[in-house]
Amino acid sequence: MSAVALSLVLTAAFLHAAWNFLSKRVGASGPAFVWLFSALTVVIYLPLVIGLVIMQRPQITGLGTLFMAGSALLQLVYFLLLQRGYQTGDLSVIYPLARGSGPALSTLAAILLLGERPSLPALTGAGLVIGGVFWLSGGSAALRRVGGSQTLIFGLLTGATIAVYTLWDKVAVSNLLIPPLLLDYATAVGRTLFLAPAAYHRRERVRYYWSSYRNEALGIAILSPLAYILVLTALQMAPVSYVAPMREISVLIAVLMGAFLLKEGELRRRLAAAAVIVVGVVVIALN
């Protein structure tokens, strides 16, 4: 894995944890809030997309358009599941569950479906990352404390969605050569359009989120696309089976945010588990 790809993934990990922290701070939310920050993304990133189209003149085929629409739908499902999950559990439980199961499934699928053949040390590193993530989540005891089966279900469903859209978008940026910025912007446009009817019927909720959580909405609108654009760029340089586990350094950051900023506790155990993740990251980076 190149130094450039590594730096992109690590920067994306910090940004990803940061916007998830903002999302958790909003509390109980749903389609209205997802529509709000998606619409803000469309407005904020429009000048960059216009500049990209003028300078690069990307050639998007019919299949490319289909992939962008599919990515928008998958991202919509992901955001709705994630918001629902944060209503049932802590940031430091839901986030590790989703981030841990996602790369496990995407790495396996990349091997089975895309023909990738990561080295044994890289697979060992991926195993350490994934194992550390689940240790970090606290296992069955933590799940019983924060809501049991609902937390587990939403965490794993979110992780499965991560696995699917990671593979889907890998094909889009590597095989179909869709620019990462354009692909992510298309997902924001798609989410905004898909959720427009729900946002209209919940317009009072949209006004409430804008008045009460404006900074969080703006933060997510900026950080979430930027984090994923960096990941998509890294996917153009490195295999899914390397990039997906490497993203899990964000778990360490999210746990620290949960412990110190949200007062979720159990810092010693969660830091020990995070150390296992860091070791796995280093093994992947060296291989």
Q: What is the 3-state secondary structure (H, E, C) of 235-265?
A: HCCCCHHHHHHHCCHHHHHHHHHHHHCCCCC
Contact 186, 63 (CB under 8 A): no
> Rounded to two decimals, what is the model's pTM?
0.82
What is the structure's pLDDT at 285? 64
Q: Exposure pattern of 18-31 as b/e (b: 16+ CB <10 Å)?
A: bbbbbbbbbeebbb
CA–CA separation, 90 vs 81, rounded Å? 14
CA–CA separation, 249 vs 253, rounded Å? 7
Contact 93, 138 (CB under 8 A): yes
CA 250 to chain centre: 10
CA–CA separation, 176 vs 68, rounded Å? 11
Q: Which of 143, 128, 131, 135 is nearest to 94 (CA)?
A: 143
Which amino acid does the sequence have at 258?
G
Contact 45, 226 (CB under 8 A): no
3-class SS at 1? coil
Under 8 Å CB-to-CB from 188, ≥6 apart: which residues? 38, 41, 42, 45, 72, 225
How many domains does the chain divide into? 1
Q: Which of 5, 236, 240 is nearest to 108 (CA)?
A: 240
Contact 236, 174 (CB under 8 A): yes
CA 248 to chain centre: 10
Q: Which of 254, 257, 227 is nearest to 243 (CA)?
A: 227
HSE, CB side, 13 Å, CA atoms: give it for residue 273: 27
Domain that holds residue 42: 3-286
Q: What is the pLDDT along the chain (287 residues), one digit of tens a residue?
A: 788 988 999 999 999 999 989 988 887 678 999 999 999 999 999 999 999 999 999 989 999 999 999 999 999 999 988 888 888 777 777 787 777 666 667 667 777 887 878 788 878 877 887 777 777 666 556 555 555 567 677 877 888 898 888 889 989 999 999 999 999 999 999 999 999 999 999 999 999 999 999 999 999 999 999 999 999 899 888 887 778 777 777 877 887 888 788 877 777 877 787 778 778 777 776 66
What is the structure's pLDDT at 267? 75
CA 179 to chain centre: 18
